[in-house]
Amino acid sequence: MDHIPLWAQICAIFLLLFLSAFFSISETSMMALNRHRLKHLANQGSLRARVTQGLLAKTDQLLSVILIGNNLINTIIPVLTTSIALRTFGHNNLVLSVTTGVVAFLIIVFAEIAPKIVGATYPEKVALPASLVLSPLMRVARPLVWFVNLFANGVLRVLHINTKGGRDQRLSTEELRTIVLESGNFMPTKHRSILLNLFDLENITVDDVMIPRRRIEALDFDAPFDTILHQLETCYHNKLVVYQGDIDRVLGVLHVRKTLSALHNQEFERETLRELLAEPYFVPAGTPVFQQLQFFQESRHRIAIVVNEYGELQGLVTPEDIIEELIGEFTTTIPRGAGSRSGWNEEGECIVAGSMPLRELNRWLKLTLPTDGPKTLNGLILETLEEIPDGDVSVRIAGVHFEVMRSDDQAIRTVKIFRPQGVVLRKQG
């Protein structure tokens, strides 16, 4: 090597350090690359993304090329530096030791640590251009890679390590939830909220979203005719559940607009009302919400009556109730609480009905009350107190202060809620 000029050997060392850094940065960026983002770019027609996908599909060969190149270069660099030291200073042990230390420092800092930090920080910007170099290199080095992998795979088989079983890694629902939560500024807050609510549909049933029995606006078929007409003209909904005597004896569902139209076009009688009834659609309590949403899509029904194992009516659910679980409340045709629906007042208080569902209360007032037990505020407070309070009683549940304002022998009717710290007062507009 004495016939090679000294400047050429020094330039070769820096070139080899650059190549070593290239292999290091390529390895780290390839492994840190977001596969879902890469697939999206490939579907968008990016050539570099498709090439990178092809490389990552053969991870064992890719790593072999990178590691073989990196280790060969890191082996050649000390040989060159030792040759330069011997040529310049002769056989001096101190010089050789210092040269070895300097070379090790250069390799560690400039060919390993710094490039890998950059590759991990900007994987997409590094991996996609690097793939255009690594792809032809893999084809050229295929015989050498095959030979090296022959021994490497033999060692793995001896150790009973299956490298194919870990390639098909599917994300669980909780892992997808974590990805959505960590999306940060990359996804609008509303979109992120809808996706998180969609994941929750697998864990909730119609009992969680239904309008409870006591809040159903229903029509008694046996009521005086004037009362029926007045209720039809003043009701909040376009469809009413019609029962006879007892709400558990459901006759059908009445389309209010069609009924009022018939009222003006002909002589309206009780039997005419019976003829206008549509067949009721019953679903058992505990039906998963996602399954019920599919039932609504497949059938022409828009109201499902929820019954328990004894056939007693528990509530009713509509597609709108399920959709509100995804996108938030958007119907405002009927008051649901004992007080104003505007939310917290200036004193940080809110008066609601004890029959209000907890999921609706959480969504409306931005609370985090537990929903894995009782479904209503009345049930939650009674579970905590273990009795129906006689007078004004205060209780704290999940960091929220409640004050029972009115109750009777059967249930808690009205509750005052005090806004906990951390809940922002919503502005009305």
Percent of the chain having pLDDT more than 70? 90
pTM attached to this predicted model: 0.57
Predicted pLDDT at 425: 55
More confident residue, 200 or 406: 406
Domains belonging to the chain, first-starting first, are 6-158 (no CATH), 206-327 (3.10.580.10), 349-418 (3.30.465.10)
Report the pLDDT averaged over residues 204-213: 87
Q: What whole-number distance in Å separates Cα of residue 116 and Cα of residue 273?
A: 77
Predicted pLDDT at 184: 66
Task: Please write the tens of the pLDDT for every residue from 293-334.
Answer: 888 888 878 899 999 988 899 999 999 888 887 777 665 444
pLDDT at 409 > cutoff 60: yes
Predicted pLDDT at 213: 87
Report the pLDDT averaged over residues 346-354: 87
Q: pLDDT-based confidence at 335, cuts 50/70/90? A: very low
pLDDT at 2 > cutoff 70: no
Report the pLDDT averaged over residues 174-194: 76
Report the pLDDT averaged over residues 148-157: 82
Does residue 10 contact residue 84 with C-beta atoms inside 8 Å?
Answer: yes
Least confident of 302-306, 353-357, 378-382: 353-357
More confident residue, 167 or 275: 275
Q: What whole-number distance in Å separates Cα of residue 345 and Cα of residue 180?
A: 33
Q: What is the DSSP string of 65-124?
A: HHHHHHHHHHHHHHHHHHHHHHHHH-S-HHHHHHHHHHHHHHIIIIIIIHHHHHHHHSHH
pLDDT at 428 > cutoff 50: no
Burial class (CB in 10 A: 0-12, 13-18, 19+), 301: middle
